[in-house]
């Protein structure tokens, strides 16, 4: 298989553990083992203490699948397969797509969502997000006009990484209606689900709205547990689940036994974990709005509606790639430029889910004022 380098992951590989500060991570502050265990229920603690470190069930631990199914309305345990989130993207694209299939993908996008279909030989239409009135927008007519007889799949990601874009329920329903009318699959990457910036903004999972939807979710972002490497696909497309487990035999075969039990613990602490992350994001959003307003001669703040990232515009005159390079070299602060998402224009990502976000802005204040 020929596949391009994953630019974002290669960028993180250079700086994630060498730069002193990260301004652009997409995950929320990680939980410690102690925090997770201290708040665990008696049943999952018992499972943890008696855990045998053997191979696990290919579709995922039955109790974990049961807990996952509870997040949805139309899903039973049998509609769930667990996988590392990135692996879930890989095996789903390989299970459903073939050379020359046409796929429509929102743009910018987490690279594997477009790179894997491209490596399979699909033809791709990039459904480009645009900024207008200090917010991000998707044109639904553009989606409708991009569909042709060979269109097999639409790939969406709401709340969106990196822009924080989230459609309204009405817009989301229209996307589903368009897909249904043309009988195309929706691959809905919902890795930032439940992190909407207002309760009334939350969308249902695509899997609960559409019979040909495949929804991806996991513990890496919303649940502050990227190190567990636990994610899942839920779908009502029965034959796909079977194909996914067959493909998984060539990736991880099954999940990690300790991670599965820790994942059960986390799902049972959902409300507390979510509340802490929403509080973090609320505080960081306030600080970000104030910081970028103070420096509005340089930046245009583009308000995110959900998730733990924002995609901000650096005004013309300075190259964002150049600026990110200078800042990491001189201040040891890593910032991801939009070019890493193959998105033209002078944008960069900030991550709103970490505890040291405000400290990093303080570190940057003087530097930015002198630009
Ligand atoms: C939109 C999106 N999907 C999938 C993933 C993959 O998640 P993981 O790194 O936990 O495999 C990420 C990670 O950043 C992401 O942002």
Q: Which atom of ligand 1 is nearest to the CA of 27?
A: 14
Residue nearest to atom 6 of ligand 1 (CA): 86
- Residue 86 Cα: closest atom of ligand 1: 11
Give distance in angstroms: CA of 46 to centre of ligand 1: 31
Mutate to test the pocket of ligand 1, among 83, 111, 157, 191 (most ligand atoms within 8 A of CB): 191
Domain residue ranges in the chain: 7-32+271-369, 33-269
Q: Which CATH architecture has domain 7-32+271-369?
A: Alpha-Beta Complex (3.90)
Residue 86 alpha carbon to ligand 1 centre in Å:
6
Tell me the pLDDT of the chain (371 aa) as tens digits.
Answer: 889 999 999 999 999 899 999 999 999 999 999 999 999 999 999 999 999 999 999 999 999 999 999 999 999 999 999 999 999 999 999 999 999 999 999 999 999 999 999 999 999 999 999 999 999 999 999 999 999 999 999 999 999 999 999 999 999 999 999 999 999 999 999 999 999 999 899 999 999 999 999 999 999 999 999 999 999 999 999 999 999 999 999 999 999 999 999 999 999 999 999 999 999 999 999 999 999 999 999 999 999 999 999 999 999 889 999 999 999 999 999 999 999 999 999 999 999 999 999 999 999 999 999 88
Q: Look up the CATH number of domain 33-269.
A: 3.40.640.10
pLDDT at 1: 80
The answer to whether residues 166 and 203 touch, using CB atoms and an 8 Å cutoff, is yes
Q: How many Å lie between the centroid of ligand 1 and the Cα of residue 13?
A: 15
Indicate the top mutation candidate among 8, 11, 12, 86 to test ligand 1's pocket, ranked by most ligand atoms within 8 A of CB.
86
pLDDT of residue 330: 94
d(CA 241, CA 366): 53
At CA 336, angle to CA 214 and CA 320, rounded to 5? 130
Give the CA angle between residues 299, 304, 305 to the nearest 5°. 160
Peptide bond between residue 234 and the one before it cis (omega within 30 degrees of 0): no
Output the CA 192–ligand 1 centroid distance in Å.
Answer: 9
Among 28, 92, 110, 206, say which to mutate for ligand 1: greatest number of ligand atoms within 8 Å of CB.
Answer: 110
Which protein residues are within 6 Å of ligand 1, measured from CB?
A: 26, 84-86, 110, 157, 161, 189, 191, 218, 220, 226
pTM, two decimal places? 0.97
- The CA distance from 308 to 257, in Å, is 28
């Amino acid at each position: 298989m020929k596949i391009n380098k994953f630019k974002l992951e290669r960028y993180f590989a250079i700086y994630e553990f060498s730069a002193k500060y990260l301004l652009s991570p997409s995950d929320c502050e990680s939980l410690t083992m102690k925090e997770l265990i201290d708040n665990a229920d008696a049943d999952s603690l018992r499972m943890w203490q008696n855990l045998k470190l053997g191979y696990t069930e290919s579709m995922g631990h039955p109790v974990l699948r049961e807990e996952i199914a509870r997040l949805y309305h139309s899903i039973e345990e049998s509609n769930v397969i667990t996988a590392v989130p990135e692996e879930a993207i890989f095996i789903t694209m390989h299970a459903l797509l073939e050379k020359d299939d046409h796929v429509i993908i929102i743009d910018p996008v987490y690279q594997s969502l477009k790179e894997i279909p491209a490596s399979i030989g699909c033809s791709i239409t990039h459904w480009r997000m645009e900024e207008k009135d200090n917010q991000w927008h998707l044109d639904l007519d553009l989606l409708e006009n991009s569909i042709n007889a060979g269109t097999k799949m639409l790939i969406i990601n709401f709340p969106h990484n990196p822009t924080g874009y989230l459609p309204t329920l009405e817009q989301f329903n229209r996307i589903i209606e368009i897909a249904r009318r043309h009988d195309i699959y929706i691959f809905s990457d919902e890795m930032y689900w439940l992190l909407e910036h207002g309760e009334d903004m939350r969308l249902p999972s695509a899997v609960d709205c559409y019979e040909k939807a495949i929804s991806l979710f996991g513990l890496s972002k919303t649940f502050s547990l990227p190190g567990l490497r636990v994610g899942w696909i839920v779908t009502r497309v029965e034959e796909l689940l079977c194909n996914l487990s067959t493909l998984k035999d060539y990736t991880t075969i099954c999940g990690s036994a300790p991670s599965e039990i820790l994942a059960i613990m986390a799902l049972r602490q959902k409300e507390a974990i979510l509340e802490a992350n929403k509080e973090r994001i609320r505080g960081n959003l306030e600080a970000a709005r104030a910081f970028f307003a103070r420096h509005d001669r340089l930046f245009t703040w583009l308000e995110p509606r959900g998730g733990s990232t924002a995609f901000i515009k650096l005004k013309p005159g300075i190259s964002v790639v150049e600026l990110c390079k200078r800042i990491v070299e001189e201040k040891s602060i890593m910032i991801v430029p939009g070019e890493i998402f193959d998105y033209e224009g002078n944008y960069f990502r900030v991550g709103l889910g970490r505890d040291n976000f405000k400290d990093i802005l303080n570190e940057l204040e003087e530097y930015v004022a002198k630009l």
